[in-house]
Amino acid sequence: MTLAKRIIPCLDVAGGRVVKGVNFKDLVDAGDPVELAKKYGLEGADELTFLDISASVEERATTLDMVRKTAEQVFIPLTVGGGIRSAENVNELLRAGADKVSINTAAIARPQLINEISDRFGNQVLVLSVDARRADTKSGFEVTTHGGHQSAGIDALAWIEEGISRGVGEILLNSMDADGTKAGFDIEMLRAARAVSSVPIIASGGAGKLSDFGDAISAGADAVLAASVFHFGDLTISDVKKELAKAGFPIRA
């Protein structure tokens, strides 16, 4: 049985509001996270990703209260990321209503965290968020941290392979080169990641027009994530699903 391809709106939250910028800079307000989450749930989103983008930079935990309020309004899987540093943080988020957690900066600082979370909760709850960009590394891609502002000094493909070996169940691949540009997903990066990944890949960064979503799936994405095109009404989830169905991809109606 072929699994349906998933459409995932992403809520980047800072200071209690959904924000969006280009390459994580020049952020503009895109609304209230709980209201937007509810709207996307009703519109047919397959999942929802909630990233507290200022948590790691400000060295604090994700806002549990906002996760609780969001979980009360949506009845689709909810992934939460930002500021997760321990298995206990994950426990708190799952209790607050998250279905999955996304880790990034803390896992780079201490890769053993992946094993600890996966061993305790199972790999189905763990998404490794990889903010990658082109660089002079073995694969041509490197990992960045702090919202793409700092190089982690790690080859992106090697990190994906290590994350999978340690127990992540999914890769959220965010192209920092394409993020917020609306110029299309990073097909070259996606293909490279697909070649080394044995777990599902969520493509992120660059969605601008309907055909971009099918291009990402053709390049190996199991799910496509987008933010600004949904927040500002350029495209609807229903538009994307119709386009994918027309192109012959399996989707949930």
Instruction: Give the pLDDT band of residue 61 (cuts 50, 70, 90).
Output: low
Looking at residue 55, what is its pLDDT?
66
Q: At which residue do the structure tokens 């399996």 appear?
A: 250
List pLDDT tens digits, range 110-167: 999 999 999 999 999 999 999 999 999 999 999 998 767 789 999 999 999 999 999 9
| Amino acid in the structure at residue 152 | A
Could you tell me the pTM of the whole model? Answer: 0.93
Question: Does 1 score more than 80 pLDDT?
Answer: no
Instruction: Give the pLDDT band of residue 224 (cuts 50, 70, 90).
Output: very high
Report the chain's mean pLDDT, rounded to a whole number: 92
For domain 6-246, which architecture applies?
Alpha-Beta Barrel (3.20)
Instruction: Give the pLDDT band of residue 100 (cuts 50, 70, 90).
Output: very high
Question: Does 62 score more than 80 pLDDT?
Answer: no
User: What's the whole-number mean pLDDT along residues 168-195?
Assistant: 95
What's the Cα-to-Cα distance from 129 to each of 38, 133, 164, 179, 233, rounded to whole Å?
24, 13, 12, 14, 26
Question: Does 25 score more than 60 pLDDT?
Answer: no
Contacts of 59 (CB under 8 A, 6+ apart): 83
- CA–CA gap between residue 160 and residue 195 (Å, rounded): 11
Question: Does 35 score more than 80 pLDDT?
Answer: yes
Joined tokens for residue 61? 């935990």
Please indicate whether residue 46 is annotated as part of the active site. no
Looking at residue 118, what is its pLDDT?
98
CB 203 within 8 A of CB 227: no
Please indicate whether residue 12 is annotated as part of the active site. yes
What stretches of 107-180 adopt beta strand conformation (E)?
126-134, 141-145, 150-155, 170-175
Looking at residue 228, what is its pLDDT?
87
Phi, psi for residue 150 in degrees, rounded to 5: -130, 140
CB 56 within 8 A of CB 105: yes
Closest alpha carbon to 53 in 7, 88, 84: 84
Instruction: Give the pLDDT band of residue 203 (cuts 50, 70, 90).
Output: very high
User: What's the whole-number mean pLDDT along residues 24-34?
Assistant: 75
Instruction: Give the pLDDT band of residue 14 (cuts 50, 70, 90).
Output: confident
Instruction: Give the pLDDT band of residue 58 (cuts 50, 70, 90).
Output: low
Question: Does 26 score more than 90 pLDDT?
Answer: no
Q: Of the spans 10-14, 54-58, 180-184, 240-244, which averages the highest pLDDT?
A: 240-244
Looking at residue 148, what is its pLDDT?
77
User: What's the whole-number mean pLDDT along residues 74-79?
Assistant: 95
Catalytic residue among 26, 46, 65, 131: 131
CB 174 within 8 A of CB 194: no
